[in-house]
Structures are given as structure tokens and as C-alpha cells.
Amino acid sequence: MTTTAALELVQLTKMYGGVTAVDAINLKIPAGSYCCLLGPSGCGKTSTLRMVAGHEAVSSGDILVGPKNVTNLPPADRSTAMMFQSYALFPHLSVIDNVSFALKMKGVAKSARHAEASKLLELVDMQPYAARLPGQLSGGQQQRVALARALITSPQILLLDEPLSALDPFLRLRMRAELKKLQRELGLTFIHVTHGQDEAMALADIVVLMNGGRIEQQGSPREIFNHPRTEFTAKFIGGHNVIALNHETFAVRVDRLMLKRPTETVAGPSVTGTISEVEYQGTYVRVVIAVDDGPEISAQVTETQFDAANYTVGERVRATWDPTQASLLKTASSATIRSPERAA
Amino acid sequence: MMLVFSLFFLLPLLLVTIVSAWDYNEYEMIPAFSMRGYSDTFEGCIADLPNLCTILKTYLKTLKLCLLTWVLTLLIGFTVAYFLAFHVRSKTWQIVLTLLCTIPFWTSNVIRMIAWIPLLGRNGLVNRGLEGAGLIHQPLEWLLFSEFSVVLALVHLFTFFMVVPIFNSMIRIDRRLIEAAYDAGATGWQTLVNIIIPLAKPGIVIGSIFVITIVMGDFVTIGVMGGQQIASAGKIIEARLNALQFPAAAANAVILLGITILIISALTRIVDIRKEL
């Protein structure tokens, strides 16, 4: 039904007055892939998306959709379509008029554009609601209408600005699966902005983690999770302990940390500390350890392991790991690192 | 609330309606049922057909003035509100400029009207200026004490009543809707017609109700700016009151009220205002 295109950003920069929101980023996203722009608020991911969409002027650099340089084209000529945060459906128009809006602007006759819109409503399973107003729909239904509206222009790239943030947690999971399914079926390039790492991990073929207007790291979710290159990545992606040892910093997954008694000898690198908290989580037990002269780290141990050792709060413990399972982090100047806790 | 409403609105309205059905002679009203107030008002209307009688002519004139004023206040008011809502970026400037619009209201209606006279008179600023520029050789007579000056003054006085409700509707329009329209390839004009005007409709209707009800009942502006030469529905009531013919005045008031209600209900058909408030 639709053709798709690759997206390429070349030295793309956005300045607001003297503030650099997006700092000369280079990015290639292959056609037909699902890409998540991930990062804390203010990292430049939304500015990047809005520049690609054509709703924000580019300060310098280029945007290429397929072979076409679209940097200075209006949104409608870019072969992109945007799905807005909280959807921005026209409240005075019925669902079918919302979906067919772009065709009406092109001057397509009413019957033709309604026929086209009906097909898309069928695709998102919203055909029975064609005559309703957006205000009469639930959040998930509104999202489907917004999707249909974005797809009516047969875009090659679909841009989604935090599409799931307006939904409640249960619906979010369901719509997340629907988005992925739709992307697979249509074979379109999706660029999805989010601040939720779980969302990015579940959906993306490529995760682009941004921080302070730059790309911190990009790659498949597994690459990023298993080989974080910086402390920021390790902390933002979650599930890692950042441990400083002998002037080097490592990221060790919480489930790869092994706990030993201080008296036991260990082969690999290790740190010692006191157990400050034990939390039972059902499938695993989380043990928090206050490392001597260091920060707290946490280990995820299976119930069986935990029962065998039966750790208690206040007990001395040695945490060790297989060096091949740890990622050596680039020591960035800590001033540029935002803690993920502060990221909304 | 209900008490205030009955005391200051329903009761006077009821009294006016009752008095309109009383009898009267040259100097007093007689509390006995009579439709003389109404029949005097429409005296000779049927006999004069197909020519229009005075009362119908007067109402047509009033409607014409009202329509002209409505169209002009709507055009100007919409433009000003659009500018304030979409071109003035900062909240502070929006407030400052809106307050600026209210400054004329620091002086009374009458003074603002009379201020036009030195401008528009035979030897007024406009005529002198045009003569000085060599554009005209004798003063334009239609500038003052004419329908032109009446409409000008009405527009001047009441445009702000259009600006405020329309502006209020417009600032509630989500900016992302306009972006979404742009994303869908709509031109500025298409966005205005398809998105902004429909969403500003409640403001337009409320502003229209203000302007139409005020202009339909106005007799001061029409009197002063029309040089007491233009008849209007309001002026009939005033003339009857001056002649101490209260039942006739009341009858005219009831007729005017009925016509105004008709116009308003037609307008509210277009938009369900209760939903929007």
C-alpha cells in the first residue's frame, strides 16, 4: 500500500537563542525500521522529531528522506506524517472527517476521501465509530484515529511524538503492541519519541539514546542493554550497577552480580559492603548493598540462591562478577551526566 | 440568585408586558385591558399596503443599521482577536494589548460619541483635511448626522464586545491543532476556515448577541450621531415615553423584545452556547 524510505540526519543542529537543543547529530535510520528516540526531557529528542516533521526550523544541517533533501520543505511535502502527543484531533470534526482532513485540503471530493478514510479506519479497527466526535472516544480509540489520520497521506515515514504518554498503564501496553504490529504490517519507517526505556526496548529495532542534544549511544535494544558505553547510558537504560574499581568504571547488570560471604575467595573483580536492604519481588529477590566508601549497588538473585545463603540486613557481603559480562564505561566528565532519576 | 433574577428581571418584564395591554389617553394611562398600544403602533399598516407603514420602515431601518454594525464589528473584532490570540506570542503582551483595548471604556459612551462631531462636521478635521489635500472642493455632507456616522459610532463603541468573547474562544484552541492542520497540508486560509472559525464559533455567537441586542435597543447613539433625524425602534419607545404614552411605549418594547429574541434564538440554533460556557 505504501512505500517506505530511510531517514538520514546530517549535522542537524537546533539553536534556541544561545541554547543548543540539538547539537550536530548524525543519524541513519534504514527504511522500514522502528526507531525510538529515547532520552530524558530536554535532551533534544522532541526538537529532532519536530525538525524532521517540518514544524521546527533547522538551524543548520540537513534532513534526507530517502534520496530527497527535505530540510526546507513544508511538512506536507516531506513524505512524513506526524502523530501528535495527545493526538491533536480536531474536536469539531467527526472521526471520518478527521481522518480525511488532509485529502479535503488537497481538494479531493467528499465521497472519494470518505472512501479512502474508511479503508484506514478499517485498518485501525475504528470503522463503527466513523460518525463520532473525538470527545466521545476513549484514549486508545483516539490514538487509533490519530494513526489513521497520519496514514491517510501515505507517508513514507511516520513520526510519533510520545504516542503512549496520554494512556493509562494498562492501555499503554496494549497500544504498544498494536503500534508494533501495525508497523510490521505496513513496513513503514516509524520514528517514535519516548522517555520510557521499557517502551523503547519493547518496540525498537534501533534505539537512539540522546542526552544534552547529542546522541549518547545508538544500536539495537540488546546492544545498548548489554554493552552500555557510558555511565549515562547504563543508568538511563536501567538494570545496571555502575561500579568504580581501580580508576575504571564498569557497568554490571544487576542480575549478573554474584554475592559471596566475605570469607570466600573469589577469582574475579569484587567489592565488599554491607547489605542495607532486602526486597522480595516475586520472581527474584533484590539485595541492596552499601559498598564500603562507595555508592549503593543492587543485586538481583533468584529465590533459590537467596534461600541457600539467607542474607540478612546488616550482614557483610562480597559482590563479584564475571569480567566478560561487565562493560567498561568511557569516563565522561561527570558534569555532563544527568541522573536518570531526574529525567521525567 | 433566583430572588435577584425575579426582582430585577422577571418582575419589570412582567410589568412592562401588563402595561402594554392597558388603555391610555392623551395624558394618563388607564388600567383596563386594551390592545390600543399595539393597534396604534401598527396604525394604517394594512391600509397602506403595498407601501410600508412608518413602523415597518423604522424596524427595517433599525435592522439595516444593526446588520451593518454586526458585519463590521464581526470583521474588525475577529481580526483583532485573531491578532491577539495567534500573533502576539507572550501572555504578558496579550494581557497588555487587551487592556489597551479597554482604555476607551474609561470615558462614557456619550463623550466617545460626541468626540466624533468635531472630526466629521462640515468644518471638521476630516473635511478640512480632504479639502486641504485638494481631494474635494466642498465639504462632504454625509460624514455627520447620517447613517454613515451612526454606523461608525456604533462600530466604534461596540467592537470590543466582539473582541473579548472571540479572543476568549481563540486562546482555548490548542496550538497543536493548527500544527496538525499544517502537517496535513492545509494552507493558512484553509486552517482559518476549517479549524479556527468553527472553533471560535461560540465566541462569535456570544459577541453577536451582545452587539445585536445593544444596537437593536439603542436610541442614544442613533439620536446623537443621526442628528435626531433617523428613526429607530429604540427611538419610537423614547418618543412614546416623552409623550407620556406608557402603554404604547411598553407595547413597542414588547415588540422589540420579541424581534430580538427571534434573532438570538436563530443565532443559538447555529451553536449550542450552553455547551460552550
Indicate which CATH number applies to the domain containing A140.
3.40.50.300
Shared domain for A96 and A208, answered yes or no, is yes
Contact A51/B at CB under 8 A: no
Nearest CA in chain A to B184: A102
Contact A219/B at CB under 8 A: no
CA distance B178 to B188: 9
Shared domain for A215 and A259, answered yes or no, is no
Q: Is residue A134 part of a domain?
A: yes
Mean pLDDT of chain A: 89
Q: Are B185 and A91 inside 8 Å of each other by CB? A: no
Shared domain for A261 and A208, answered yes or no, is no
Closest Cα in chain A, distance from residue B174 (Å): 8
Contact A133/B at CB under 8 A: no
Contact B102/A at CB under 8 A: no
Residue B56 pLDDT > 50, yes or no?
yes
Shared domain for A202 and A296, answered yes or no, is no
Q: Is residue A1 part of a domain?
A: no
Shared domain for A168 and A46, answered yes or no, is yes
Q: Are A153 and B180 inside 8 Å of each other by CB? A: no
pLDDT bracket for residue A341 (50, 70, 90): very low
Q: Is residue A63 part of a domain?
A: yes
Contact B275/A at CB under 8 A: no
CA angle, residues B211, B214, B215, in degrees to nearest 5: 80
Q: How does strand A34-38 pair with strand A189-194? A: parallel
Contact A84/B at CB under 8 A: yes
Q: Comparing B40 with A334, which gets the higher pLDDT?
A: B40
Residue A331 pLDDT > 80, yes or no?
no
Q: Is residue A239 part of a domain?
A: no
Q: Is residue A344 part of a domain?
A: no
Q: Are A101 and B198 inside 8 Å of each other by CB? A: no
Contact B185/A at CB under 8 A: yes
Shared domain for A162 and A208, answered yes or no, is yes
Contact A76/B at CB under 8 A: yes
C-alpha cell at B270: 447555529
CA distance A273 to A187: 51
Shared domain for A25 and A144, answered yes or no, is yes
Give chain A's domain count: 2
Nearest CA in chain B to A101: B184
pLDDT bracket for residue B38 (50, 70, 90): confident
Q: Comparing A294 with A37, which gets the higher pLDDT?
A: A37
Contact A153/B at CB under 8 A: yes
Shared domain for A30 and A142, answered yes or no, is yes
* Chain A interface, best mutation among B89, B183, B205, B276, by max A CB count within 10 A: B183
Instruction: For residues B236-259, give the mean pLDDT.
Output: 87
Structural domain that includes position A283: 251-336
A248-253, Cβ contacts within 8 angstroms, sequence gap of 24 or more: A248/A328, A248/A331, A249/A328, A249/A329, A249/A331, A250/A326, A250/A327, A250/A328, A250/A329, A251/A326, A251/A327, A251/A329, A252/A321, A252/A325, A252/A326, A252/A327, A253/A226, A253/A325
Q: Is residue A255 part of a domain?
A: yes
Q: What pLDDT does residue B80 have? A: 94
CATH number at residue A286: 2.40.50.100
Shared domain for A302 and A220, answered yes or no, is no
| A44-60 tens-digit pLDDT | 999 999 999 999 999 99
The minimal CB distance from A88 to the residues B177, B190, B198 is found for B177
Question: What residues of A are in contact with residue B199 (Cβ under 8 Å)?
Answer: 91-92
Instruction: For residues A142-152, give the mean pLDDT.
Output: 93
Closest Cα in chain A, distance from residue B184 (Å): 5
Q: What pLDDT does residue B276 have? A: 56
Shared domain for A218 and A257, answered yes or no, is no
Contact A98/B at CB under 8 A: no
**Domains in chain B and their CATH numbers?**
53-276 (1.10.3720.10)
C-alpha cell at B104: 476607551
Q: Are B186 and A106 inside 8 Å of each other by CB? A: no
Q: Are B198 and A153 inside 8 Å of each other by CB? A: no
Shared domain for A132 and A48, answered yes or no, is yes
Q: State percent of chain A over pLDDT 70.
A: 95
Residue A333 pLDDT > 60, yes or no?
no
Q: Which residue is listed with cell 497520519?
A: A150
Nearest CA in chain A to B185: A76
A-B CB pairs within 8 A amount to 57
| A239-280 tens-digit pLDDT | 898 888 877 888 999 888 888 888 888 888 888 899 999 998
CA distance A186 to A123: 10
Q: Is residue A217 part of a domain?
A: yes
The minimal CB distance from B177 to the residues A75, A90, A102 is found for A90
CA angle, residues A181, A187, A191, in degrees to nearest 5: 80
Contact A57/B at CB under 8 A: no
Residue B155 pLDDT > 60, yes or no?
yes
pLDDT bracket for residue A75 (50, 70, 90): very high
Q: Are B183 and A91 inside 8 Å of each other by CB? A: no
Q: Is residue A191 part of a domain?
A: yes
Shared domain for A260 and A201, answered yes or no, is no
Q: What is the ipTM of this complex?
A: 0.79
Instruction: For residues A109-128, give the mean pLDDT.
Output: 93
| B208-239 tens-digit pLDDT | 999 999 998 888 888 888 888 888 888 888 88
Closest Cα in chain A, distance from residue B72 (Å): 26
